[in-house]
Amino acid sequence: MNRLISKRTDGYSLPFAILIFIIVIILSSSLILTAYQKEIVIYRVILTEKLVTNANSALNILIAHSEKYPYNQEIHLSLYDSTQDSVILSKEQWGAFDILQATAHHKGQKKTLSAMIGSYTQDSSSLALFIPESGKSIALVGNVNIIGNCKLPEAKFTEGNVEGKIFTGKPIKSLIKTSECILPPLNENITKLTLNQAMDTYMEYDSKIVPIDDFKSDSLSVSFIADSTITLYSNKRIILNKKILKGKIVIISKKSIIIEPSSNLSDVICFAPYIQINEGFCGNLQAYASDSITIKENCNLTYPSVIGINKETHGNAKLSIMQNSSLYGIAFMNITDEASKSVLNISKNSIIKGQVYSNSYTEIRGAIHGTLYTKKIILRTNSSVYENTIMDADINIHKLSNNYIGIDLINEGTKGGVIKWIY
């Protein structure tokens, strides 16, 4: 009987041992596989970090020495004297800004970083106000507040009286130096942002042209990293109503562009003789006109926005930011006709956070939190026009964010940095 039981036990033990062996093998394999997968994940993380570090380092080199590198050409760099680590750099102009791109390669893997770059940051020497020497003082009327370094005519500020209204602001305590007789010229890269130049660039080079009448979609998003520029074009007026447009998109009209508040724009560029942004619009864009730009009431042009006029013909132009509107970025007026009476107007309760330039007249009844370069400053009332007069204005560079990055308006050779990363 005992022998029988023993034989039965021996008969069960072999399959049981095999089962245990299989389980051990499975568990061991699982542990090895888990460890292997973990190693793969760790390797991928390390590789990604290495690629990002390499791309970021190369991008910083490009930012620091951007002027040395040509537009629209690939630059190949080897890193660490290694054939396995390399970076491809490229630079292209996007309106007033640059788009820089760095693609890092390592053992067949790659990572691309792309950023929008500006070339101005404020420092202790940055000016709040520049008006060329004219032999005349600048009259202050009403509640005027000016904070920051200034370059002004030798006669500096005086307290004025306009139609019975006198100066009621605080004494100006800014550091004031005598200005040169001529306003520094606008950066030539900015002066080239014209309708004619846009026609040559975006209607011929590296662009997919879509007649506006054929564009039936409500939305369009174009990547800066890989895609070609999409150009929406018309010989007639363009009305952007209930459109969502983002990224590498240029809008060109040979007549005018009207932007309704129902549209959502981000990073696009507009070119036309006349551009109007209607009441209540919110978004960021670059808008360049040859005759007129009007920002209606209660608009909010977010960072980084640029509005500017380059007028190459005779006659007057106007750039108007109407009441209760705001612009975070740059506004400029560049007029070639020295006899022109063109005016850049910043209306009551409106505000520009950033940089303002006008080689003609500027009228400010609102606020500039940043810097103003202007050839002349005027005040218009119902009865008259007063030159060299500022009324009820706030110019304060100290209210401009330390993180602000703009553009090198007057070829100072300033260095900037990343405005925004592009994914």
Instruction: Please report the pLDDT score of residue 312 as a whole number.
Output: 86
Angle at 295 between CA 132 and CA 240, to 5 degrees: 140
Question: What is the C-alpha separation between 238 and 252, in angstroms, rounded?
Answer: 8
Helix (H, G, I), strand (E, B) or coil at 39: helix
Cα separations in angstroms, 415 against 60, 66, 192, 421: 12, 9, 21, 17
- pLDDT tens for 87-107 read 888 889 999 999 988 888 877
Q: Which residue has the higher pLDDT, 56 or 299?
A: 299
DSSP string, 262-329: T-EEEEEEEEEEEEEE-TT-EEEEEEEEEEEEEE-TT-EEEEEEEEEEEE-SSS--EEEE-TT-EEEE
**Is pLDDT above 70 for 156?**
yes
| pLDDT at residue 394, rounded to an integer | 96
Q: How confident is residue 417, by pLDDT bands cut at 50, 70 and 90?
A: confident
Q: Of 327, 333, 329, 336, which Cα lies nearest the Cα of 309?
A: 333
Residue 10 has pLDDT above 70, yes or no: no
**What is the DSSP pairing of strand 75-78 with strand 351-364?**
unpaired
- Assign 4 a pLDDT band (cuts: 50, 70, 90): very low
* Residue 419: burial class (beta carbons within 10 Å; 0-12, 13-18, 19+): buried
347 contacts 326 by C-beta, under 8 angstroms: no
Q: Which residues in 160-298 belong to E strands, given as ranges?
A: 161-162, 165-166, 176-178, 207-211, 219-222, 229-234, 238-240, 244-247, 249-253, 256-259, 264-277, 282-295
243: phi then psi, degrees, rounded to nearest 5: -115, 140
The pTM of this model reads 0.87
Task: Tell me what the pLDDT averaged over the chain comes to.
Answer: 88
pLDDT tens readout for residues 249-302? 999 999 999 999 999 999 999 999 999 999 999 999 999 999 999 999 999 999
